[in-house]
Amino acid sequence: MNAADRGAQQAGLVEDSAPPPVPPSPAALRRLASRARRPVYQAAVAFATYLAVFVIGFALPIVSHLNTPNLRQYWTDPNFYTWSMRWWPYAVSHWINPLYSTQVGAPGGYNLAWATTTPSVDLLFWPVTALFGVLVSFNLVLLLVPPASALTAFIAARRLTGHFWAALLAGGVYGLTPFVLVHDWQGQPNLTMIALLPIVVYLVLLWWDGTLGWIGFVAWTAVTMALEFYTFNEAFFDMTVVAAGVLVIGFAVAGGPARLKVARLAGLMAVGYVGSVVLASPYLIYALRHYPTTFIRQQQGFSLHLIRLVLPSSDKLFGLTPLITWSDQLGRSGIDDYVGLPLLLIPLALVIFGWRNRIGWLLALALVFVLALAVGPSVDIDGKLVQLPWGGLWGLPVARSAEPSRLIVFGFLVLAMALAWWLAAPAAGRLSLAARWGLGLLAVAVLFADLPTSYSEVKPVPYGVTLPATMRPVNQLPPFITDGLYRQYLRPGESVAVVTYRGNAGLLFQANSGFYFRIVGGYVNASLTPREDALPAAVGNLAHPSHAAIRAFESYLHTSHLGAILVEQAWAEPWTSIFGRLGLHGTSAGGVTVYPVSSQTRVPSYAEITGGPTPAPAAGTSGRGQRGHG
């Protein structure tokens, strides 16, 4: 460098030339490889993989409309769970009993102790709800819960096998299944939040290999099981039965010394279970003291149809006419139970090719046990119901409305662990290894081929339904709610009826208003609030006006303290014309027509409305849609 160049460099006009890159040393590469093998990094990679596959393959319509009620707005469940996500933080922050609400079912209120409000999820997402609103929070639950469930299964399978790729496929088989996705697109987080069940398996594995002491095992098991109770109490009951049965199977297949260890494990799990009941006791005691007499026993259709394990829905049968006909005859029942034949063969293969392997026997027998339970309390043989030996379980108070087919979740967990064990097992040669992975990949492919996406579920009206020309339903909430116009037309705490063919719209409107007003009616579940129009009978029956319906509505106005009726205009048919014929005068505001009412409101007689004589009393009914959650 000459003097001129040195002067220019000192003046800042010329930069130093960059030093040549130094290749990483072998020691640095070894450190990087070692870090990549750490469980926490592998878990992060696994979660990112599950999330990417789920969002790109199945959930893009949800991602693009996070601040919109997306799913099945013609049905009740999504908006009930949206409401729940606002209710629990509201109740806790206002020191209100969260197990009973007078905000819905006004003026008396509803007992929520036996409703599936998923308090653990609601409170976990409280910060998101507070910062971004309940719609964003609920949509994030839809997006994050399936990958999170896949992640916990990955963690358990990784601990069982020590094999990343085997565990990665196992996690997908558990968290991204027809059961999870069907219920995710039905907006039912109580059924899709299954991430806690593999954690119990993970804790057992940690204790078994001595990594976790007995005190830590008991404590973490108690907390995990209690969280499962606060997520879905029916799944807690199912977990109790399944865990007891699998421990018995484990004791039977274990060798001599191992049996003593299984017996000790059973004792520690029993202590942990008692601890979980203690942690759940505030909720549990209240629920048992306020047990509803209206609980219904589930029908045979809610049990596992064994053929559905291998027969997918008709649109996934690639034009095979005989199978399509067979699937159509079964209807939509059980489509969330599909597993696929290749995946079912893996536990059998574990037994055949590893005759002396006790884990293979444990997994195979555990699957048989779970499927037997999922068949339910009875089985239909030639049109006759035959009671099964374990049918008495569904007579217990905590299980009277439980649906046996939901036990398939535990079947998927067993199958996920079986898949991981099958893929990670030592192979005799390359051909044997290729055969193992070929069957495993085929099992995953056949399962994933039946997965539903969210594209059809974000339409406000189901396929095949023809609407009146005056109805133009949309997913978006009306400006009356989003712009806060309700504050100009309603008093705080006023009792309101929301009349619309949007499912459970009253709860959705109320949640987005921050409980500014109370709701008469509202749908909770099929046992507690059987009217799926989510309206008091006296209001809902006006869909079919009659003399009795009109008189019942007038009497209801005198006793209910109802202050206003809101009709969502996009979903209004035929309510606007009905209330007009009843002499009610509405004001249009932000996509809603507001009808002020009071105990002094006069309702004309049926003869005045029709111009004819009063007919014989005949109460109309109103009900629509499909069964809701349990």
> Residue 404's pLDDT is what?
87
Tell me how far apart the alpha carbons of residues 94 and 88 are, in angstroms, rounded to a whole number: 10
**Is the pLDDT score of 612 beyond 90?**
no
Peptide bond into 545 cis (omega under 30): no
| 305/313 Cα distance (integer angstroms) | 13
DSSP result, 313-347? -GGGSTT-HHHHHHHHHHTTTTGGG---HHHHHHH
Backbone angles phi, psi at 185, to 5 degrees: -80, -10
The pLDDT assigned to 326 comes to 56
pTM for this predicted structure: 0.87
**225 neighbors 272 (Cβ within 8 angstroms):** yes
Of 605 and 169, the one with more pLDDT? 169
pLDDT at 214 over 90: yes
Residue 293 pLDDT more than 70? yes
Least trusted range by pLDDT, from 27-31, 408-412, 578-582: 27-31
pLDDT tens for each residue of 294-342 = 666 555 557 777 888 887 765 555 555 565 565 556 655 667 888 999 9
Q: What is the mean pLDDT of residues 228-246?
A: 94
Instruction: Of 63-67, 134-138, 298-302, give the lowest mean pLDDT range.
Output: 298-302
Whether 32 contacts 23, CB under 8 Å: no
The structure tokens 């409000």 sit at 117
> Phi, psi (5° rounding) for residue 378?
-150, 165
Instruction: Write out the two tokens for 444.
Output: 């995953």
**For helices 134-161 and 77-93, what crossing angle results, to 10°?**
100
pLDDT-above-90 percentage for the chain: 56
Q: What is the dihedral of CA 404, 409, 410, 416, to 10 degrees?
A: 150
The mean pLDDT value of the chain amounts to 85
Residues 6+ apart with CB under 8 A from 211: none
What confidence score (pLDDT) does residue 471 get?
A: 75
How many CB atoms within 10 Å of residue 602? 9
Among the listed residues 211, 356, 203, the one whose alpha carbon sits nearest the alpha carbon of residue 265: 203
Longest dimension (CA), the chain: 115
Q: pLDDT digits over 181-210, tens only?
A: 999 999 999 999 999 999 999 999 999 999
Structure-token match 């990949």, residue found: 441
The answer to whether residues 541 and 618 touch, using CB atoms and an 8 Å cutoff, is no
How does pLDDT run across 502-534, given as a tens digit for each residue?
889 999 999 999 999 999 989 888 777 778 788
- Compute the average pLDDT of residues 340-349: 94
Find, among 328, 467, 354, the residue nearest to 418 by Cα: 354
Of 167-176, 302-311, 392-401, the range with the highest mean pLDDT is 167-176
Whether omega for the bond prior to residue 107 falls within 30 degrees of 0, making it cis, is yes
Q: Spell out the domain ranges in the chain.
A: 45-74+113-293+309-448, 75-112+465-630
- Kindly list the distances between the CA atom of residue 519 and the CA atoms of 494, 499, 515, 576, 613, in Å, as whole numbers in the listed order: 8, 11, 9, 19, 35
Q: Residue holding tokens 């109460």? A: 619
Measured at the alpha carbon of residue 100, what is the angle toward residues 96 and 105, in degrees to the nearest 5? 115
Q: What percent of the chain has pLDDT over 70?
A: 84
Closest C-alpha to 475, from 62, 157, 152: 62
Looking at residue 299, its pLDDT comes to 57
* End-to-end CA, the chain: 82
Residue 387 confidence (pLDDT): 77
Position 37 confidence tier, pLDDT thresholds 50, 70, 90: low
587-589/592-596 β-pairing? antiparallel
pLDDT of residue 117 exceeding 70, the answer is yes
